[in-house]
């Protein structure tokens, strides 16, 4: 038998006799073996499909959760971008505006603090210690503050300074009182200060001498 070329049944067995073709034909056992293999493959494939379907019904909740997780994973970036542009959203998809922070209430304009009476620079010359004169003036300071309160009752915001000078005689009494005001002037206030200073008790200068005093009162 002469074969022209392999490839197809016609090309392979063209010109062959019937006996040759019959001899070359596969036997029934071979065909049965091939069919059995095909049936087994189809059966296994169908069984695998059945198992997948059964597993889907049995683990339906887990399967849905897995699908949702995968969907959220791919859609997460888009949601973040949308939230950044729109802001906070409610369950119905409506946007809500951000609430501005609470601002502190405005501070009312407070009046400037009132300066208290202060005993400033002190100069003492003569036979009396400066510390002794200072103690005496500190004792009458509350009375001097009362003079200032009365002056501010007459004129709100009354302020300034008063430079007083006087002499302490050998007996401890004062003489030669003088005062020079700077800033606010009030005759009643100056008279009140003079009364308190000249009535104050000072120490006696040593050796029967005297002492000259200059005291700056600021208010």
pLDDT digits (tens, 9 = 90+) for 68-109: 765 666 565 555 554 444 444 444 555 566 676 777 777 666
Q: Residue 166, Cα to own-chain centre: how many angstroms?
A: 61
Cβ burial, residue 211 (10 Å; 0-12/13-18/19+): buried
| Contact present, 194 and 179 (Cβ < 8 Å) | yes
The per-residue pLDDT of the chain, averaged, comes to 78
CB atoms within 10 A of CB 12: 15
User: In this predicted structure, what is the pLDDT of residue 44?
Assistant: 85
Q: In the predicted model, what is the mean pLDDT of residues 140-167?
A: 96
Q: What is the pLDDT of residues 167-204, one digit of tens each?
A: 999 999 999 999 999 987 899 999 999 999 999 999 99
Q: In the predicted model, what is the mean pLDDT of residues 140-158?
A: 95
Q: In the predicted model, what is the mean pLDDT of residues 104-133?
A: 85
Report the distance separating Cα 136 and Cα 140, nearest Å: 7
To the question of pTM greater than 0.75 for the whole model, the response is no
Q: Any alpha helices (H) in the chain, and if so which ranges? A: 9-13, 18-24, 28-58, 60-86, 130-139, 141-154, 187-199
Terminus-to-terminus CA distance in the chain, angstroms?
143
Report the distance separating Cα 170 and Cα 76, nearest Å: 100
User: In this predicted structure, what is the pLDDT of residue 3?
Assistant: 46
The proportion of the chain whose per-residue pLDDT surpasses 90, expressed as a percent, equals 44
User: In this predicted structure, what is the pLDDT of residue 119?
Assistant: 97
| Contact present, 135 and 201 (Cβ < 8 Å) | no
More confident residue, 33 or 50: 50
Q: Report all structural domains of the chain as residue ranges with CATH numbers, in order of start.
A: 118-218 (3.30.2420)
DSSP letters, 122-186, are EEEEESS-HHHHHHHHHHTHHHHHHHHHHHHHHSTT--EEEEEEEEE-TTS-EEEEEEEEEES--
């Amino acid at each position: 038998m002469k074969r022209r070329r392999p490839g197809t049944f016609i090309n392979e067995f063209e010109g062959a006799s019937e006996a040759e073709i019959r001899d070359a034909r596969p036997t029934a056992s071979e065909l049965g073996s091939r069919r059995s293999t095909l049936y087994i493959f189809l059966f296994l494939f169908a069984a695998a499909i059945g198992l997948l379907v059964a597993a889907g019904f049995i683990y339906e909740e887990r399967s849905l959760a897995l699908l949702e997780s995968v969907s959220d994973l791919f859609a997460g970036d888009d949601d973040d971008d949308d939230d950044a542009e729109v802001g906070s959203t409610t369950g119905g998809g409506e946007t809500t505006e951000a609430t501005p922070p609470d601002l502190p209430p405005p501070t009312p304009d407070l009046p400037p603090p009132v300066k208290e009476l202060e005993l400033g620079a002190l100069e003492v010359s003569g036979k009396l210690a400066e510390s002794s004169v200072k103690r005496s003036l500190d004792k009458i300071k509350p009375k001097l503050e009362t003079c200032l309160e009365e002056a501010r009752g007459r004129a709100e915001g009354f302020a300034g300074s008063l430079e007083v000078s006087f002499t302490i005689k050998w007996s401890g009494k004062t003489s030669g009182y003088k005062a020079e005001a700077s800033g606010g002037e009030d005759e009643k206030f100056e008279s009140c200060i003079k009364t308190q200073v000249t009535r104050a008790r000072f120490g006696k200068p040593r050796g029967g001498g005297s002492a000259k005093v200059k005291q700056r009162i600021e208010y």
